[in-house]
Amino acid sequence: MINKRKVLKNKALLLGVTGGVAAYKSVELVRRLIDGGASVSVIMTEAAQKFVTPLSLEIASLNTVHTDLYSHPMAHITLPAHADFMVIAPATANLIGKFAHGLADDLLSTCLLAFRGKVLIAPSMNWRMYTNPVVQENLASLLSRGVVQVGPEEGRLACGEEGPGRMSEVPDIVAAVESALAKKDLANERILVTAGPTREYIDHVRFISNRSSGKMGYAVARAALRRGADVTLISGSTSLHRPQGVNFIPVETAEDMLRKVREEIPSSTVLVMAAAVADFMPGEKSPGKIAKKYGLLLNLVRTPDILMEISREKRRPFLVGFAAETGEKVGNAKKKLKEKKLDLIVFNDVTEPGAGFDVDTNKVILIDSKEQKKLPLLSKDEVADAILDRITEIKA
Ligand SMILES: Cc1cc2nc3c(=O)[nH]c(=O)nc-3n(C[C@H](O)[C@H](O)[C@H](O)COP(=O)(O)O)c2cc1C
């Protein structure tokens, strides 16, 4: 399976699971972290075992689950000593309070005190508990000592009430772990990414679009975010999870996208145009719904060429384009690089197995004025990092 991400690869993570209703999500969290290439050892509190069984986490982590401070005399020292990073998800109000005050009365709280690396906590509790000043003070104290916090979200809580306290979704916790572990080599960049398909309306209810899932652009946005960039994501309609921490701008048509790109360009240092902008749009949009009794002849006209428009601007950012072709038409990509005065173009043959639409992998060639770099079949996350690596090399 090709979905190892650079930052998680070969990292030893220690995951603490505490006794909250969101504990069941830790099974999925372990799976995602392992998919990313990390090894995960789990410590469960006594209360956590009321919500999810050690066996479930043992199966997910392919590792022994630790629950008892006294079953192994040195576990509270050796487990943290062999870990690169600690994650507590869910983190109960109780665990947060104990950690903030240096209490060590079970295996997890003792390991937290013995650990010398970075710790990330994902609080999860009823909103009344979360907004209690003592919980807020404990969190502030942990953050002031370098602990990283992800979430909680506002929303419907397990008790049926609404409010802040829902544990962050698993992809957001994984992204926060990756971000905490990643090098911050893009901290001075403001990266504008476009992603997904555009919709070109025929009438009020029908549109022309394409097969783009948006996965490549979203992967670039996530990678840039974890490497410290300020990220704006202009996205056509997709079913993807919106990355937490990006400035997200939803759009529908190519014209909408051009307008938003123009607005964002003055404050961007890099534009990565990963969106699959429709090449054609109906010459005119019918106001209502066209009746189906007649045949329909469509007059299609060209949509605005966003990269071309931006490349003509005086103050233009570093420009990265994509060339999705059917077949090994690298020449077309090189032509596009020159014509649109791009700094980098990412070529991919969408007919290749594992490359192109709606898959999690891609096989690309990175082409700039100096070199052509053919990459093997990689996860889209890895391709995203390779694109960002090349941008930093060219800009250096
Ligand atoms: C049904 C139920 C759900 C609970 N959910 C949470 C929760 O989501 N967050 C929390 O902080 N405490 C929650 N608690 C309270 C904790 O389980 C309790 O404070 C426990 O001592 C936490 O122990 P631990 O931090 O060692 O895991 C819940 C209790 C019950 C009975």
Segment 112-130 mean pLDDT: 96
Of the chain, the percentage scoring pLDDT greater than 90 comes to 80
Cα gap 15→120, rounded to integer Å: 10
Catalytic annotation present for 159 = yes
Q: Is 125 in the pocket of ligand 1 (CB under 6 A)?
A: yes
What is the sign of the dihedral through the CA atoms of 222, 225, 226 and 229?
positive
Cα gap 289→272, rounded to integer Å: 36
Cα gap 89→57, rounded to integer Å: 13
More confident residue, 100 or 314: 100
CATH 3.40.50.1950-classified regions of the chain: 12-181
Could you report the per-residue pLDDT of 135-175, keeping only the tens digit for each? 999 999 999 999 999 999 998 877 778 888 999 999 999 99
Are the CB atoms for 69 and 55 separated by under 8 Å?
Answer: no
Helices 215-226/380-395 angle, 10° precision:
60
pLDDT for the residue 1: 38
Going from the Cα of 94 to the center of ligand 1, the distance in angstroms, rounded, reads 7
Cα gap 106→109, rounded to integer Å: 6
Sorting pLDDT into bands at 50, 70 and 90, what band is 3? Answer: very low
Bridge partners (DSSP) listed for residue 148: 120
Total-model pTM: 0.76
pLDDT for the residue 287: 87
pLDDT for the residue 353: 78
Cα gap 64→218, rounded to integer Å: 35
CATH 3.40.50.10300-classified regions of the chain: 190-395
Q: Is 96 in the pocket of ligand 1 (CB under 6 A)?
A: no
More confident residue, 1 or 35: 35
Segment 259-268 mean pLDDT: 96
Sorting pLDDT into bands at 50, 70 and 90, what band is 5? Answer: low
Concatenating the DSSP letter of every residue in 202-262 gives SSSS-EE-----SHHHHHHHHHHHHTT-EEEEEE-S--SPPPTTSEEEE--SHHHHHHHHH
Q: Is 124 in the pocket of ligand 1 (CB under 6 A)?
A: yes
- What's the Cα-to-Cα distance from 57 to each of 82, 179, 237, 282, 308, rounded to whole Å? 19, 24, 35, 53, 51
Going from the Cα of 102 to the center of ligand 1, the distance in angstroms, rounded, reads 19
Going from the Cα of 381 to the center of ligand 1, the distance in angstroms, rounded, reads 35
Sorting pLDDT into bands at 50, 70 and 90, what band is 90? Answer: very high
- Tell me which amino acid residue 277 is: V
Cα gap 384→32, rounded to integer Å: 18
**Which range, 129-133, 290-294, 326-330, 351-355, has the best average confidence (pLDDT)?**
129-133
Going from the Cα of 53 to the center of ligand 1, the distance in angstroms, rounded, reads 15
Unique residue bearing structure tokens 């082409």: 367
- What's the Cα-to-Cα distance from 192 to each of 252, 318, 336, 374, rounded to whole Å? 17, 10, 20, 25
Going from the Cα of 48 to the center of ligand 1, the distance in angstroms, rounded, reads 8
- What's the Cα-to-Cα distance from 201 to each of 126, 239, 278, 305, rounded to whole Å? 44, 19, 11, 17
At the topology level, CATH places domain 12-181 in Rossmann fold (3.40.50)
Q: 164 CB contacts (<8 Å, ≥6 apart)?
A: 127, 130, 131, 152, 153, 154
pLDDT for the residue 248: 98
Could you report the per-residue pLDDT of 177-201, keeping only the tens digit for each? 999 998 899 999 999 999 999 999 9
Are the CB atoms for 257 and 216 separated by under 8 Å?
Answer: no
Q: Is the pLDDT of residue 110 over 70?
A: yes
Q: Per the structure block, which two tokens stand in for 45?
A: 């509190």
Could you report the per-residue pLDDT of 216-247, keeping only the tens digit for each? 999 999 999 999 999 999 999 999 989 888 99
One CATH from 3.40.50.10300, 3.30.420.10, 3.30.460.10, 1.10.645.10 for 190-395: 3.40.50.10300
Q: Is 165 in the pocket of ligand 1 (CB under 6 A)?
A: no
Q: Is 196 in the pocket of ligand 1 (CB under 6 A)?
A: no
Ligand 1 atom with minimal separation from the 93 CA? 11
Task: Kindly name the residue from 113, 159, 296, 298 that is annotated as catalytic.
Answer: 159
Segment 286-294 mean pLDDT: 84
Ligand 1 atom with minimal separation from the 47 CA? 27
pLDDT for the residue 244: 87
Average pLDDT, the chain: 93
CA triplet 389, 393, 396: central angle to 5 degrees? 135
Q: Is 45 in the pocket of ligand 1 (CB under 6 A)?
A: yes
pLDDT for the residue 2: 41
pLDDT for the residue 39: 97
Using DSSP, state whether 272 is helix, strand or coil.
strand
Q: Is 109 in the pocket of ligand 1 (CB under 6 A)?
A: no
